[in-house]
Amino acid sequence: MAKELGVGIIGCGNISTTYFSLAPLFKGLKVLACADINMEAARARAEEYKVRAQTIDELLANDELDVIVNLTIPDAHFPVSKRILEAGKHVYSEKPLVLTLEQGEELRRIAKEKGLAVGCAPDTFLGGAHQLARKFIDDGGIGRVTSGACYVMSPGMEMWHPNPDFFFLPGGGPILDLGPYYVANLINLIGPVKRVGAMTSMASPTRTITSQPRNGDIIPVKTPTTIQALLEFVSGARITLTASWDVWSHRHANMELYGTDGSLYVPDPNFFGGTVEASGRDKDIKPLENWAHPFGIVNQESPNGSRANYRTAGLADMAASLIDGRDARCSLDRTLHGVDVMTSILKSGEEGRFIDLSTTCTQPAALGIEEAQALLK
């Protein structure tokens, strides 16, 4: 296979700028074209990033493209990814990959039939902070992980997103929108999940947009906005996960893991960097010694401060896996297991019972310093 894959992008909204701007950091990728149901949006991105604007049909028929990145809204992920596979292209999708396990199994069937790969965000677990946490666990830093707690909570999306409607419809909500970052990192750190139980609720049947340009618009809420879940892992660890858009402020840490010999404090899985802290049996919490992981180096300024941002690392790792003939870290099996975890959490909330998962996966290979450097130009 060629040492560089031609990349097309379907969906030219907010998140597309991240892929356009960060893909040039990585080997094996060359973004050549983009498409959107709104051709004006496609033309604007094409002009901004010096690529070709095409209709979706033209993009799917473009022989220069090996892999297409699906950046459409969650409800469109399955039909668009299916069309991409049927056109003979590899797929890399934004999260969530699909909204039901059945949709994911259909993508798996088509991909296997055609000999194609499917990958999916999030790839933030490949970040320097989370790989440092992974190394510390693998090296026995806190002994065997037995339990833990994760929190991702805020007032919601209507304060900043220009069109937040889809966040509050089926396929949205905090567990499918933000849960993927936490579930993917837990799979990275601990491995697959065995069963889940949850309670779900919503604080209000409507939301009022306060962002521009739709300030004052009232939108319906059709999916749970607070989810309190318990995940039992195959390893025996039991982790609580609370995801909510009904919380104005709190003092919970993003992710804490407790082991037989200590505790580990993991920064926000939504980002690549941050400080990892740990304690032993002495209860003395200290930052781990930082390491020179390339995906932990600050490379971007944001309104919230400096940060490391290497999104598209998962796409680059997928490209390298296709070129080298190895397993991709953001693979279909792991992504589909994550979908199983999250949809089973929602099902548990509806039915009031524990749900045994029907899928499993392996932990992704750790991404050390040398492996990460090999993905960069």
Q: What CATH number is given to the structural domain containing 216?
A: 3.30.360.10
Q: Is the same domain home to 76 and 169?
A: no
Instruction: Give the strands of the sheet with 255-259, arranged side by side.
Output: 286-287, 277-279, 263-266, 255-259, 145-153, 238-244, 226-233, 193-201, 355-356
Range of the domain at 255: 127-292+331-359
Is 324 a member of any domain?
Answer: no
The rounded radius of gyration (Å) of the Cα atoms in the chain is 20
Cα 26 to Cα 340: distance, rounded to the nearest angstrom: 30
Specify the pTM: 0.95
**pLDDT tens series, the chain, 377 aa:** 568 999 999 999 989 999 999 999 999 999 999 999 999 999 999 999 999 999 999 999 999 999 999 999 888 999 999 999 999 999 999 999 999 999 999 999 999 999 999 999 999 999 999 999 999 999 999 999 999 999 999 999 999 998 899 899 988 899 999 999 999 999 999 999 999 999 999 999 999 999 999 999 999 999 999 999 999 999 999 999 999 999 999 999 999 999 999 999 999 999 999 999 999 999 999 999 989 999 999 999 888 789 999 999 999 999 999 999 999 999 999 999 999 999 999 999 999 999 999 999 999 999 999 999 999 99
Do 83 and 18 lie in one domain? The reply is yes
Q: Are residues 57 and 183 in the same domain?
A: no
Sequence-separated (6 or more) residues with CB below 8 Å from residue 249? none
Q: Is 194 found in the same domain as 148?
A: yes
Residues 57 and 154 grouped into a single domain: no
Q: Are residues 10 and 155 in the same domain?
A: no
In our burial notation (b when 16+ CB lie closer than 10 A, e otherwise), range 280-314 reads eeeeeeeebeeeebbbbeebeeeeeeeebbbbbbb
Element (H, E) at 132: helix 128-138
Position 305 in a domain: no
**Residue 86 structure tokens:** 């049927």
Q: Are 57 and 139 within one domain? A: no
**Domain contains 167:** yes
Residue 320 lies in a domain: no
Could you tell me if residue 11 is inside a domain? yes
CA dihedral 144, 368, 15, 81 (to 10 degrees): -80
Q: What token pair was written down for 257?
A: 């893991």
Task: List Cβ neighbours of 220 (8 Å cut-off, separation of 6 or more).
Answer: 168, 169, 205, 206
Residue 302 lies in a domain: no
Are residues 89 and 157 both part of a single domain? no
Same domain, 141 and 275: yes
Same domain membership, residue 67 and residue 174: no
**CATH number of the domain within which 102 lies:** 3.40.50.720
96 preceded by a cis bond (ω within 30 of 0): yes
Q: Of the candidates 73, 96, 119, which is a domain's last residue?
A: 119
Whether residues 151 and 233 share a domain: the answer is yes
Residues 103 and 164 in one domain: no
- 313 lies in some domain: no
How many domains would you assign to the chain? 2
164 in any annotated domain? yes
CA–CA separation, 141 vs 279, rounded Å?
Answer: 9
Sequence-ordered list of residues with C-beta below 8 angstroms from that of 120, at least 6 positions apart, any chain: 92, 93, 94, 95, 96, 97, 314, 330, 332, 335
Pair type for strands 300-302 and 52-54? unpaired
Please list, in sequence order, all residues whose beta carbon lies within 8 angstroms of the beta carbon of residue 259, skipping any fewer than 6 positions away.
137, 141, 142, 143, 144, 145, 146
pLDDT value at position 302? 82
